[in-house]
Amino acid sequence: MKKLIVIGCIGFIVVFALSCGGNNSNTPASTSGSETEKTPEGNPSYDPHRGEGKFTKVDVGPTLNAAMAETGSKVYAVKCSSCHKLTQEKLVGPGWAGVTSRHTAEWIMNFVTNTDVMLNKDPKAQALLEICLVRMPNQNLTDDDARGVYEFQRKNDGVK
Amino acid sequence: MKKIKNGVPALVAVALLLGMDACKPKNAGDTVSSDAASKVYVAPGKYDEFYNFVSGGFSGQMSVYGLPSGRLLKVVPIFSVNPENGYGYSEETKPMLITSHGFIPWDDQHHLDLSQTNGEIDGRWIFANANNTPRVARIDLTTFRTAEIIELPNSAGNHSSPFITENTEYVVAGTRFSVPPDDKNGDVPINTYKDNFKGTISFISVDKTTGSMDIAFQLQCPGVNFDLSHSGKGPSSGWFFFSCYNTEKANTLLEVNASKRDKDFIMAVNWKKAEEYFKAGQGRKQAVKYAHNVYNEKTHTATSEFKTEVTVLDTKELKDICYFIPCPKSPHGCDVDPTGEYIVGSGKLAALIPVFSFDKIQKAIAAKDYIGDYDGIPVIKYESALYGEVKKPGLGPLHTEFDGRGNAITTMFVSSEIVKWNIKDLNIIDRQPTYYSPGHLCIPGGDTKSPNGKYVIVYNKITKDRYLPTGPELAQAAQLFDITGDKMKLLLDFPTIGEPHYAQAVVASLIRDKSVKFFKIEENESPYASKGEGTTKVVRNGNKVDVYLTLIRSHITPDNIEGIKMGDEVYFHATNIEQDWDVPHGFAIKGAANAELLVMPGETATLKWVPDRVGMFPFYCTDFCSALHQEMQGYARVSPAGSSVPISYSTGTNLPKSDSTENK
């Protein structure tokens, strides 16, 4: 997957382009030419519950993995807490209370690690962008970080 | 013939008119082929094929262009402050511009050389010289930032610099101005020049892995003016060649007094021999003072350290290091062809270009084929070193680069043209006008073993009528020529920053994919970093107030700060906690006698602010970062000295109204 450039400073233009049905306003310059992302409609295998990214099946235990949640808590403090509260209150992005019941583990982890692609094509991500109007930054979490953050969200949602 | 006899005066008149017309500058329509536009067109969203690193001259910076489009991609601040991104203004970058003379906000940047391995560009670093207060800088090509600056003792007018050896073992730096050595009393009558003034050439070692620079040794040389230089390669590995003028040792009206001798010199330096002497302890330790400034990418902070000693090798006493080769009329460019066998000296006042043979130089040295000595250094007989001369190349030959196909291209300053000639037979192949008065020129890899002979870029000293007029000060400019055929074809004019001197160009793929996209926040070792909003704080220590703040789309934490008092020195330590490409945030506060900060993702930078009055001071992000960029702002309250307002700070907290925080 070609890594996308975030043109964060013109996020509003991207939003505008999205609202006009454009989906190619955020692809990178390249000597081989821009690649047009396939739209969800044009890709029947696209699973809106899973989103797009490397996570196709995440094993989630019945009880909390405290060590993973601890990792996630640390990542949250550095990379997420500026924009997401642990309550239902929206700050820059939505509050995290109940997030694990709104989205699957795969969707959350794909959104966190494959942010730009998801923002450009995933209907749920786009709906959130219309509310928040700030493109979620890709904070470059490792796979383990992303998994930890999900576990931390589960903890926040009351999983013991 | 008879029939047109009456027409002769008319023809003469027409010819005269044409002749007069020919003296006027030709316009672009005369010289640009019809396919030029398509050859330089890079479609929107596409990348250029080459990076072109261009010296900024009196701007002190380096600019980066894409070729063939001539689009300006970046200006890298090196020797001058840059309020645009806080270079030289932030606490972290101020040490980069420290010298033995103190903090210097400006310099004159002339030459660039890309690092090489085995005589080929390796795309790791580019070196830059400062002319005025002699220094050499190393720029990291993963971040396009100045990584290191080293000052040069015993030097003035660091012009023949920063040229490198084949494996970047050394960067050299030769003095344009000879001066009394730093450990001697410089308070001497000017007319003692010949006795007291010395020329110095520094050999700066470069660590193979880290690039870290250190002055290994200096060569003390006769008090001439060193102008330009280039390293040997292949058979001439281990040698360096410097052009010298003012062998008259004039100290006034050099225009006349340094142009008297029929021949000045190319100085051939056996640096391997010098290195041997140095390692054998033959040098003299001299007490000096010079600054060595290093930027640490992990702490995002520069440090400046003064060094106090340099090893000097006396080239008069230590034989076998230096040899002079006579070279006509004040040579300027000193360029070595890709094979390493031919050394081209460009006598800027000469009507020919001499080409010297390294093989013949070696034979002449072995046979002691000297015509005498100059200040104790042997002078090789001109004819014994000469391979041949390019006859009538044009007026004012300055610089030469090589196309890798056995040809050389030389700029002619006075006759405003570039001339292509064959190195073997010394015959001229083509000449094309430039607009106007070309100085340096650059072929990608054109001073290495493996030039990429697709283009030559010519950097002109005068643009006169080439661009829309902008008052007395006009655009500086470069011109791009296609050199793939026998005829050189002008493709494009493009303006440059400052005044362009030497430049380097390289295929983009060698650098493009190594570009750093952001700094990892986990690896940020700045003592002032805030890793997450939970760690932000405002700390008072006497009259020093440290504000540890974070920047992320689209708020600043903390954004309400109270308790600052008149007489305080406030340090805003701003950490950008974004972790993606192309999301810098800016930081500026009203009334700060300072610049802004432009903070890259994962970086920490510090702005010092000394409030000058009581009141409310807005601060905000200066880099349009998101749809809510205009909301990315905050307030700092300044109270009178002695006020009892306590330090407080918050974001997103609407403090209850209270008497103690209200203004009276």
B518: chain A residues, CB-CB within 8 Å: 140
Distance from CA of A40 to the nearest CA of B (A): 25
Backbone angles phi and psi of A144, in degrees to 5? -65, -40
Residue A30: closest C-alpha in chain B? B46
Nearest to B552 among A15, A29, A83 (CB): A83
What residues does B296 pair with on adjacent strands? B301
The answer to whether residues B368 and B332 belong to one domain is yes
B535: chain A residues, CB-CB within 8 Å: 77
Nearest to A133 among B521, B552, B628 (CB): B628
Chain A interface includes B627 (CB < 8 A): yes
Nearest to A81 among B46, B532, B627 (CB): B532
The answer to whether residues B502 and B650 belong to one domain is no
* Closest alpha carbon to B580 in A132, A128, A5: A5
CATH number of the domain residue B494 falls in: 2.130.10.10
Say if B363 falls within a structural domain. Answer: yes
What pLDDT does residue B19 have? Answer: 41
CA distance A129 to B310: 61
Contact at CB, A8 and B552, closer than 8 angstroms: no
Nearest to B553 among A30, A34, A137 (CB): A137
The full set of domains in chain A, from first to last, is 59-156 (1.10.760.10)
The answer to whether residues B610 and B508 belong to one domain is no
Residue B519: closest C-alpha in chain A? A140
The residue from B391, B413, B447 where one domain ends is: B391
Half-sphere exposure of A141 (CA within 13 A, CB side): 29
Question: Which B-chain residues 170-209 have CB contacts (< 8 A) with chain A?
Answer: none
Contact at CB, A79 and B550, closer than 8 angstroms: no
A30: chain B residues, CB-CB within 8 Å: 45-47
Say if B220 falls within a structural domain. Answer: no
Distance from CA of B491 to the nearest CA of A (A): 21
The answer to whether residues B503 and B536 belong to one domain is no
The verdict on ipTM greater than 0.85 is no
Say if B311 falls within a structural domain. Answer: no
CA distance B168 to B564: 51
CA distance B86 to B595: 6
- A1 pLDDT tier (thresholds 50, 70, 90): very low
Chain B interface includes A19 (CB < 8 A): no
Say if B205 falls within a structural domain. Answer: no
What would the pLDDT profile of B318-334 be if each residue is shown by its tens digit? 999 999 999 998 999 99
Using CA atoms, how far residue B354 sits from B377, B397, B471, in Å, is 21, 10, 41
A138: chain B residues, CB-CB within 8 Å: 579-580
The answer to whether residues B373 and B406 belong to one domain is no
CA angle B550, B552, B555 (to 5 degrees): 85
Residue B622: closest C-alpha in chain A? A9
The answer to whether residues B483 and B534 belong to one domain is no
What pLDDT does residue A12 have? Answer: 38
Chain A interface includes B1 (CB < 8 A): no
For residue B209, count CB atoms less than 10 angstroms from its CB and return exposed for 0-12, middle for 13-18, buried for 19 or more.
exposed
CB pairs under 8 A between A and B: 95
- Give the SS3 label for residue B507: strand
The answer to whether residues B400 and B488 belong to one domain is yes
**Token digits of residue B163:** 């040229």
Higher-confidence position of A123 and B12: A123
Distance from CA of A62 to the nearest CA of B (A): 31
Contact at CB, B557 and A134, closer than 8 angstroms: no
The dihedral through the CA atoms of A102, B625, B572, B143 has a sign that is positive
Q: Name the H helices within B153-296.
A: 193-196, 254-257, 271-279
A139: chain B residues, CB-CB within 8 Å: 578-580
What would the pLDDT profile of B406-423 be if each residue is shown by its tens digit? 999 999 999 999 999 999
Its domain, for residue B55, covers 30-76+396-516
CA distance B89 to B605: 10
What residues does A16 pair with on adjacent strands? none
The answer to whether residues B506 and B612 belong to one domain is no
Contact at CB, A92 and B550, closer than 8 angstroms: no
The residue from B391, B416, B447 where one domain ends is: B391
The residue from B482, B516, B550 where one domain ends is: B516
A9: chain B residues, CB-CB within 8 Å: 582-583, 623-626, 629
B553: chain A residues, CB-CB within 8 Å: 8, 11, 83, 92, 134-135, 137
Chain A interface includes B531 (CB < 8 A): yes
Whether the bond between B554 and the residue before it is cis, its omega within 30 degrees of 0, is yes
What pLDDT does residue A45 have? Answer: 73
CA distance B625 to A12: 10
**Token digits of residue B313:** 């090798």
Residues of chain B with pLDDT under 50: 1-26, 28-29, 660-664
Chain B interface includes A139 (CB < 8 A): yes
Interface test with A, best of B71, B507, B576, B578 (most A CBs within 10 A): B578
Chain A interface includes B625 (CB < 8 A): yes
What would the pLDDT profile of A65-114 be if each residue is shown by its tens digit? 999 999 999 999 999 999 999 999 998 999 999 999 999 999 999 999 99
What pLDDT does residue A44 have? Answer: 60
Helix, strand, coil percentages (3-state) for chain B, rounded to 5, are 15, 45, 45
What pLDDT does residue A134 have? Answer: 87
B582: chain A residues, CB-CB within 8 Å: 5-9
Contact at CB, A8 and B583, closer than 8 angstroms: yes
Residue A26: closest C-alpha in chain B? B45
How many structural domains are present in chain B?
Answer: 3
Contact at CB, A135 and B626, closer than 8 angstroms: yes
The answer to whether residues B458 and B488 belong to one domain is yes
Distance from CA of B629 to the nearest CA of A (A): 8
The answer to whether residues B359 and B504 belong to one domain is no
CA distance B204 to B134: 13
- Give the SS3 label for residue B153: coil
Do B570 and B547 form a contact (C-beta atoms < 8 A)? yes
Say if B238 falls within a structural domain. Answer: yes
CA angle B596, B600, B602 (to 5 degrees): 130
Do A108 and A116 form a contact (C-beta atoms < 8 A)? no
CATH number of the domain residue B616 falls in: 2.60.40.420
Nearest to A6 among B555, B582, B652 (CB): B582
Residue A136: closest C-alpha in chain B? B553
**Phi/psi class of residue B24: alpha, beta or left (left: φ > 0; alpha: ψ in -120 to 50)?**
beta
The answer to whether residues B575 and B546 belong to one domain is yes
Backbone angles phi and psi of B421, in degrees to 5? -140, 155
Q: Using H for helix, E for strand and C for coil, what is the string for A117-136?
A: HHHHHCHHHHHHHHHHCCCC
Interface test with B, best of A10, A16, A26, A82 (most B CBs within 10 A): A82
The answer to whether residues B406 and B445 belong to one domain is yes
Contact at CB, B47 and A133, closer than 8 angstroms: no
Q: Name the H helices within B387-480.
A: none
What would the pLDDT profile of A15-60 be if each residue is shown by its tens digit? 333 334 334 444 444 444 334 444 445 556 789 999 999 999 999 9
Say if B170 falls within a structural domain. Answer: no
Q: What is the pTM of this model?
A: 0.89
What pLDDT does residue A13 have? Answer: 39
For residue B18, count CB atoms less than 10 angstroms from its CB and return exposed for 0-12, middle for 13-18, buried for 19 or more.
exposed
Nearest to B553 among A5, A33, A92 (CB): A92
